[in-house]
Structure formats: structure tokens, C-alpha cells
Structure 1
Amino acid sequence: MAQAHNFQELEETMEALVHFINSSKPENQLRLVRDEQQAFFDRHVETKKIVTQILQDVAQTEESVGQRLLDMEEQKNQGERELENLEEQLRQYTARSQITDSELQFLQREFENLRNTEHELQTLQQEVDEDTTEVIPSAIYVAQLYYKVTKIKWEHDTEPHILKGVHYGADLATPINIDTAVRTRTDISDQLWSFVSTEW
């Protein structure tokens, strides 16, 4: 009985299996699997394209960034060179400015000295003008007085130790040429007084 029952269950199971196989249609399952596999392959190809494009974009970005870094480094180096040049020019201008300041101070001192000298010369000129106004007429008067008394007319463009002139006597003119370096003052005085007439 048990065997008959088991056989019956087996038979029912087999019928159900046959029914399942007949109703499942393996071609549809295979087609479905194939379509899913094709969709997966298409997604794989698309993903590969996207990943390849991303990698290319990353490579280009890295190359562009690298080039920009090189350009920025070159600009930095050029900026440092220009800064060094400007600092050198500033040092030169500062040195020139200091030299110019020194020269300007020297010229200002020279100008002050010249102005003081000019002031002294103006003062001296005023004194000379005053002395000339007062002294020369009196010197001329004294020279004329000496000539009236001694009748001697002196030459003034001689050497310092030579007395040279002419004595105009009543009858003749006598030249005078005395070297004061070789004669005493007494001898010179006596000779000159010998020209003076004692007649009044």
C-alpha cells in the first residue's frame, strides 16, 4: 500500500515536472538569458568607454596642470629675477642719491663761502672807496707839496729797492737813480736833501 502510495506520488511529481517543462518553454528562457547577457555586455562596453574617456580626461587634466605649474614656476623665476634687478637698481639709485646729496651739500657750502667772500669783497670795496675818497686827494696833495719843496718828480713803476726820478733845478734837470739795497738811509737822505735849495 505504501509502495502504491509512493508510486502515485512519484507519478504525480513526474506529471507535474513534465507539465512544468512543457509550460516553461526553454527557448524563451534562453532568449531571456541571452538578452540579459547582451544588455550586460552593452553596459560593460559603455562603462569601458566612459572609464576610458575619464582616464583620458584625467591624463589631459594632469598634463594641463603640469604645464601650468611649469609656466607658473617660470613666471615665479622671472619675477624673482626682475625683483633682483629692481633691488639692484634701487641700490644704485640710493648710492647715486647719497653721492648727489653729498655733492649738493658741498656745493651749498661752496656757495655760502662764495657769498661770504662776495660780502667781504663788497665791504672791502666800500672801505677802499671810502679810503680812496679820503686818502688819495691827501696823498696827491702831499706829493704835490713834496714836489714844490724838493722839485723831484718820482717814477713809481720801478723795482722796490730802486729810487728813480728827476730833480728839476733852476738851470737843469738831474736824473736820480739810487739803489737802496747797497746804500744806507743816511746817505740816501743826505743826497736827496742836497737837491733842495736853501734859498727862500
Structure 2
Amino acid sequence: MSQSDALNDDDLEKSGESLIEFIKSSKAESALQGAREKLQEFFDHHIKTKKTTTEILNSLVHAEEVVSQKLINLEGQQSQVMQEIERVEQEVQRSLSKSHNLKSEQEFLQRELERLRDAEQEIQTLQQEVDEDTTEVIPSAIYIAQLFYKVTKIKLEVDTEPHILRGVHYGADVATPINIDTTARSPCEVSDELWSLVNTEW
């Protein structure tokens, strides 16, 4: 071993001892221990925070599921309510339509009743004219024809051939001519044809 090598070994040993002394004097070990403790605390805090965060997230997920289920239930209830509203609206519409039809029917019957009363009044007037008129005698055939017209709206001619029944039926929309040969038909057939022209709807 040369003298320079021995010198280097001594320097290295002294440097190592000096470094050890420096580490001991600077309390690096205690600082390192403190850093370890703080690091452990940090990890403990991190684990605790992670656990708390996980619990919070689980609670949020559960709350979200509860809210979603409530929303689904509310949507179902809303759908049922809307269906019920639609059903009630349809029922109201049907009731209104039925009421309108009943009102229309009532008005029609009222008009028919008034028409019949007017016809009755005209018949009574004719009857009074026949009973009270002492200066002019109405032939019975003409009176019967007038009375027949008031009831059936059929006006028969009185000056036709004996076997010809001629006249006009004045319907609601159109006038229908009548020309029947009574020798070619039975009285029942003639009567049926005349009554077929009369409106029987009251």
C-alpha cells in the first residue's frame, strides 16, 4: 500500500466519522422519525378521508336511488291522474252531448206540441165556424176535406170523377201529387197509400 492510499483511507474514515457526528449533532434521525410519524398521520388521515368520502358517495348514490324511485312513482301517479282527467273529460263531453241532444229533442217536441195545438185550435175554429155560421152552409164534404187536410196535409180535389181520387200531399220538403183510380184498388190499399204519405213522427 502506498503512502497516498493510506492517506486516502484515513481521510475517508475521518470523513465518515465526521458525517456520523454531523448526522448525530443535527438530529437527522429524530427529524426522520418525525417525518415518518407525520407521514403515517397523513396516511391515516388519507384513509379516514377516503372512508368518509366513500360513505358520502354511498349515501349520495342511495339518496339518488330513493329520489329516482320517488320520481318514477310520481310519474306513474301523474300518468294515472292524467288518464283519470281524460276519462272525466270524456264523460263530461258525453254528458254535454247527451244534454244537448235531450235539449234538441225537447225543443223539437215543444215545437211539435205547439204545432198540434195550433192545428187543434184551427180545427176548433173550423168547428165553431160550422156551428155558428147561420148565413153560409158549408157542405159536409168540403168540411171533411178541410178537416182531413189539417190532419194529414193532403188536399183532395172535390170536382173529380167519382172513381178518381186526386189531390196533393204538402210534405215538409216537397209536394207529392196524388192520382188514384179507386176502381183498380181496394179501399184498404187506397187508405194505406194515403197514410204512407203522412209523417207519423211526433
Q: Tell me whether the two structures share a fold, i.e. TM-score over 0.5.
A: yes
Matched, 1:111 2:110: yes
1:25 alignment partner, SS class: helix
Give the match for residue 42 of structure 1: 41
Give the match for residue 57 of structure 1: 56
Q: Percent identity?
A: 7
Give the match for residue 97 of structure 2: 98
Deviations 1:35-93 (A, max 9, x none): 00100111111112211111111111111111111111111111111222222222322
Query: Residues 180-195 of structure 1 correspond to what in structure 2 (within 5 A)?
Result: none
Q: Which amino acid aligns with 2:47?
A: K
Deviation of 1:138 after TM superposition, in Å, equals 8.8
Give the match for residue 73 of structure 2: 74
Q: Which amino acid aligns with 1:21?
A: I
Whole-Å separation in 1 of the counterparts to 2:66 and 2:25: 60
Give the match for residue 123 of structure 1: 122
Q: Which amino acid aligns with 1:18?
A: E
Q: Which amino acid aligns with 1:98?
A: S
Give the match for residue 28 of structure 1: 27
Give the match for residue 188 of structure 1: none
TM-score, normalised relative to structure 1: 0.60
Whole-Å separation in 1 of the counterparts to 2:23 and 2:56: 49
TM-score, normalised relative to structure 2: 0.59
Whole-Å separation in 2 of the counterparts to 1:102 and 1:113: 16
Deviation of 1:122 after TM superposition, in Å, equals 2.6
Give the match for residue 84 of structure 1: 83
Give the match for residue 146 of structure 1: none
Whole-Å separation in 1 of the counterparts to 2:18 and 2:105: 127
Q: Which amino acid aligns with 1:82?
A: V
Q: Gapped runs of 5+ residues in structure 2?
A: 138-202
Whole-Å separation in 1 of the counterparts to 2:98 and 2:20: 113
Whole-Å separation in 2 of the counterparts to 1:63 and 1:134: 104
Whole-Å separation in 2 of the counterparts to 1:86 and 1:22: 93
Give the match for residue 14 of structure 2: 15
Deviation of 1:110 after TM superposition, in Å, equals 0.8
Q: Gapped runs of 5+ residues in structure 1?
A: 140-200
Q: Which amino acid aligns with 1:76?
A: E
Q: Which amino acid aligns with 2:114?
A: R
Give the match for residue 162 of structure 1: none
Whole-Å separation in 1 of the counterparts to 2:77 and 2:102: 37
Q: Which amino acid aligns with 2:112?
A: N
Deviations 1:149-172 (A, max 9, x none): xxxxxxxxxxxxxxxxxxxxxxxx
